[in-house]
Structure 1
């Protein structure tokens, strides 16, 4: 059992450092709340919006990634401005990463739509308990040193939208941080760039179809693209599909169970042949509370 667990830890450590160096946390339901990847989206629910998210990735693998997040954003009394806050904790194997981020946005009238410009900044708390990863007593000293470090994070984003169209470009983690332990680099954060474009297609007074595409570009990693489409029925039910080659296909569902409360669920089916040998699913749930605010906007 110990040997099996240790092999799993080493696999997850390799995946963790590769992933952290190349990609930040990817929520499946991001299209319902783009503020997680673009601070220019802060305040676009036009309400005080609070979202709690839990994600269990690669179920069935001991030490697989687990993520919890609390996301808040709201317009404020300053016309056309909004503020936001995120707390995200991610665990994989013996590593953990906690983000505490504050942000804000300001929008202007541009053509037939609005351009929202956002900034965010905060701290990342990175921890690695390497002493938990060893097989033999003689190898324990090799992993006796763990570390906990605080590093700054800064991001920016632009979000343009009209009644029928939206597009955004952002870099939520624009700094390149490195952590060294005894002269050895244990963690490297690359610059991240996101681009998204989507449309709101009204097919009837009750039904709307929303196709969108998300492109991720990370320094030193291949370009990745998500293809998404979902439909909404009278703003009560949202359901759709997301295709993230070569990793997964996701089923997305969100329902408004109260005028102010929404419940969401995403099921990711692993299509990667290597990872699919040990797991085939990821689960993600979200709860979103929105309270409409009466604020005057000037454009």
Structure 2
């Protein structure tokens, strides 16, 4: 019974960790919709992004994430509508999110202020058969595989100009409950913790061929915070190269290439500075972005980059 209880506590901790820390993204500046629902419609035309992340390559059961997001402006660009699907897994624990996003955008004299609401369902899973037991248990778990669906709400605010932005978002406002059945007589539950994220950045146009873009992302829940500091360089209005450092002890290299006015692709590599680096080959993230629609008139000076955020 004690071992079964220990396994139960470990499961709750695993679910809690997955819920408290939503998927990690290095390329969040190129796919802001997954961070802040207020971004919907900000490209001023339709955009679809597919992303894959493999973390800690070489480790069994290491985290993987797949994301599909799309959004577009409607009603004279005063409203943005979006849709996201996120699949995240680590070992026996997994989650899938399916969300719809609505953003209302105010055009101010100095920039744009947007308010976004995201709502959808989240599926949390736990598969007993994916657990490797090092020793025989006096009592083997006979709990049912977890497959729990919950309604979820996120909210965000974002202010942006052509050269800068600042955003605040709160995920899991309703803090959904996930039920876990360990056996016929043992049941536990875990609540998805609210996650606060603040992002910001500023672009500096050095000349026609060079733009420097420092930015940051800070996330916090239950008093625990992580800060990422990033600096990217845009070369010839075509290629982004950058790096970032995180208080979670990660160093990141990233790149994005503008193939043409409608197609972009990006890649990042990050290396852990914790003992995990002895057992993995780092983490890799790739994405491809497709856009179509009329490019806004202010962007005609530089059609490939109309706003750096």
Structure 1 and Structure 2 fold alike (TM over 0.5): yes
Describe how 1:176-187 pairs up with structure 2 within 5 A. 176-182=175-181, 184-187=187-190
Shift of 1:132: 3.1
Q: Distance in 1 between matches of 2:40 and 2:202?
A: 19
Partner in structure 1 of residue 3 of structure 2 = none
TM-score by length of 2: 0.85
- Structure 1 residue runs of 5 or longer lacking an equivalent are 1-8
Aligned length: 286
Give deviations 1:53-112, integer Å, cap 9, x for gaps.
011001110111111110101112344111100001011111110000000111113341
Gaps of 5+ in 2: 1-6, 298-309
1:239 to 225, 235, 241: 241
TM-score by length of 1: 0.88
Check the 8 A contact 2:148/2:179 in 1, yes or no: no
Q: Deviations over 1:247-298 (max 9, x none)?
A: 31110101012331111000011112x32232240001101001124789xx
Match of 2:25 in 1: 27
How far 1:180 moved relative to its partner? 2.2
Alignment partner, residue 86 of structure 1: 84
Secondary structure, aligned partner of 2:141: helix
**C-alpha distance in structure 1 between counterparts of 2:24 and 2:14, whole Å:** 13
Q: Distance in 2 between matches of 1:139 and 1:31?
A: 50
Note if 1:174 corresponds to 2:177: no
Distance 1:50 1:21, change over 3 A: closer
- SS at 1:142 equivalent: coil
CA RMSD between the two structures: 2.5
| SS of match in other structure, 1:141 | coil
Do the aligned residues in 2 keep the contact of 1:271 with 1:280 (CA within 8 Å)? no
Partner of 1:275: helix, strand, or coil?
A: helix
Contact 1:13 1:94 in 2 (8 A): no
Establish whether residue 127 from structure 1 lines up as the match of residue 128 from structure 2: no
Match of 2:254 in 1: 252
